[in-house]
Structure 1
Amino acid sequence: MELDILFEDGEALVIDKPGGLPLDRPRAGGPCLEDHLDDLKLGFQRAPSPVHRLDRDTSGCLLLARNPKALKRFSAAFEQRLAEKRYIGIVAGEVAEEEGTIALSLSKVSTAKDGWRMIPARKGKPAVTHWRKLDSRDGLTLVEFRPETGRTHQIRVHAASGLGVPLLGDPVYGSGKGAGRTMLHAAGLTVPRGEKPPIVAVSPMPADFTALGFADHDAG
């Protein structure tokens, strides 16, 4: 598996993570991003480290830091909400409004039967997602999501509980039907770096999105 590189300089790489590739080794074994980190040294002594997380199914822009100093600085930019993230997702239903903001705090719950998941909860951690409708066809809607916060499963829960329609293919917050994975793609990432030019990366729409009849939309 060749990983496409969307941005590269002396301290950062942004790769186009394929959907279905987890960052960490699954308990049951199998491929993960760790297998590729040595190949991503690209002449550097150190292997790069992921700065943030994308779910296993989520494809698109993933920032890797090429040294510990950069990792610390980029991680701080994410924590301070300075990183701009743009996602596109296909939701399993029609969305009536054109755009809006979902502010639902999230909390983690765990049961022996179902494992863990995130739920909207007043006492949870604040989570805010801005969204707008891009296109709809055949009972599905293409939505742009711009999360302000970076909670686990934030967009997935906000789609299901805030928009009222889960992401297509989501096995936890939806029916899991209609697609081979949860249809969420990290389409754009901008990370400021003070005096230096920002890290800017854009990932094209994946083939499984276009196969459903959706075309790439610019980030206007």
Structure 2
Amino acid sequence: MTGQHRGTGNGPAEEPDPLGLRERVLYRDPAAIVLDKPAGIAVHKGPKGGLVLEDGFGALRFGAPRLPQLAHRLDKETSGCLVLGRTPGAIAALGRLFAGRGVEKAYWAVVEGGPAGEEGLIEAPLRKRDAQRGWWMVVDAQGGQPSATRWRVLGRGGGFSWLEMVPVTGRTHQLRIHSAHSGFPILGDAIYGRAPRTGARLHLHARHIAFTLEGRRVDVTAPVPLHMQAALSLTGWRPEA
């Protein structure tokens, strides 16, 4: 990580931190925060309501006059690097970076089975399934939006593969549906894979993110979440020192 400030910083807590978000700050500067998002919590309010990550953003002010705001989103069940903007100018600039592919992103996934090769590109156009299914997506060669994902194998074992996945485009659920469409669904995926609808933990992690904002290079790697470690170990991953 470049130019980073980890953890809670100096001084007493400004506001209550019921979600423990200050301990999950991977990087902080005057313009941005990179948070290690936990799996299992949505980033913002949806039609079903309930507690969401944004409800804890008061704990991430660190003396700023405004609450930080999301610069992008991660699925509820996806963990890892999540970027927040701290000022109106930074939020606008981050929006341009994400829209213009000015952000480098890499995900780790444990998939069932795995691809035949060691690296490749998945190109499969995607569209929303229907209005009733909300964010659920389907592959549609005729009516879908162009969607592409690069992947490479980092390890194999136990009937699983450990992939690094880089989204070339940024469609909803892209990595999940591209994996399933290619014959190697992500472990724990209850929508596109073979996992049960209750109790499954998605093995998809936003491992790395990098961008330049207001002249500062931000380069952050999120630690592997506990719920992915056992399956990753089968594929050859070893805990970081």
* Contact 2:176–2:185 under 8 Å retained in 1: yes
Rounded Cα–Cα distance in structure 2 between residues aligned with 1:150 and 1:115? 17
SS at 1:30 equivalent:
coil
Rounded Cα–Cα distance in structure 2 between residues aligned with 1:171 and 1:24? 21
Rounded Cα–Cα distance in structure 1 between residues aligned with 2:58 and 2:52? 12
- Mean Cα displacement is larger for which, 10-19 or 127-136? 127-136
Alpha-carbon distance, 1:166 to partner: 0.9
Rounded Cα–Cα distance in structure 1 between residues aligned with 2:38 and 2:165? 19
Corresponding residue for residue 40 of structure 2: 20
* Contact 1:20–1:58 under 8 Å retained in 2: yes
Q: 2:82 aligns with which of 54, 62, 69?
A: 62
Q: 2:127 aligns with which of 107, 115, 126?
A: 107
Alpha-carbon distance, 1:41 to partner: 0.5
Structure 1 stretches lacking a partner, 5+ long: none
> Could you report, residue by residue, the CA deviation over 1:86-132 in whole angstroms, capped at 9, with x for unpaired residues?
000111223321000111111112165x6652111123111111100
How many percent of aligned residue pairs carry the same amino acid?
Answer: 37
Number of residue pairs the alignment of both structures matches: 215
Q: 1:212 aligns with which of 212, 231, 236?
A: 231
Residue 216 of structure 2 corresponds to residue 197 of structure 1: yes
* Contact 2:127–2:137 under 8 Å retained in 1: yes
SS at 2:136 equivalent:
strand
Rounded Cα–Cα distance in structure 1 between residues aligned with 2:189 and 2:53? 21
- 1:177-196 alignment runs, 5 A limit: 177=196, 180-193=200-213, 196=215
Cα RMSD after superposing both structures: 2.0
Rounded Cα–Cα distance in structure 2 between residues aligned with 1:88 and 1:135? 11
Alpha-carbon distance, 1:151 to partner: 0.7
Q: With structure 2 as the length reference, what TM-score do the two structures score?
A: 0.83
Seen in structure 2, the aligned counterparts of structure 1 residues 95 and 217 have a Cα distance that, compared at 3 Å, is: farther
Structure with a larger share of its residues in strand:
1
Rounded Cα–Cα distance in structure 1 between residues aligned with 2:148 and 2:238? 25
Alpha-carbon distance, 1:45 to partner: 1.1
Structure 2 stretches lacking a partner, 5+ long: 1-18
* Contact 2:110–2:231 under 8 Å retained in 1: no
Q: With structure 1 as the length reference, what TM-score do the two structures score?
A: 0.90
Residue 126 of structure 2 corresponds to residue 121 of structure 1: no
* Contact 1:167–1:174 under 8 Å retained in 2: yes
- Mean Cα displacement is larger for which, 85-94 or 46-55? 85-94
Seen in structure 2, the aligned counterparts of structure 1 residues 179 and 145 have a Cα distance that, compared at 3 Å, is: farther
Corresponding residue for residue 117 of structure 2: 97
Given residue 170 of structure 1, which amino acid in structure 2 is its aligned partner? D
* Contact 2:127–2:145 under 8 Å retained in 1: yes
Larger radius of gyration: 2
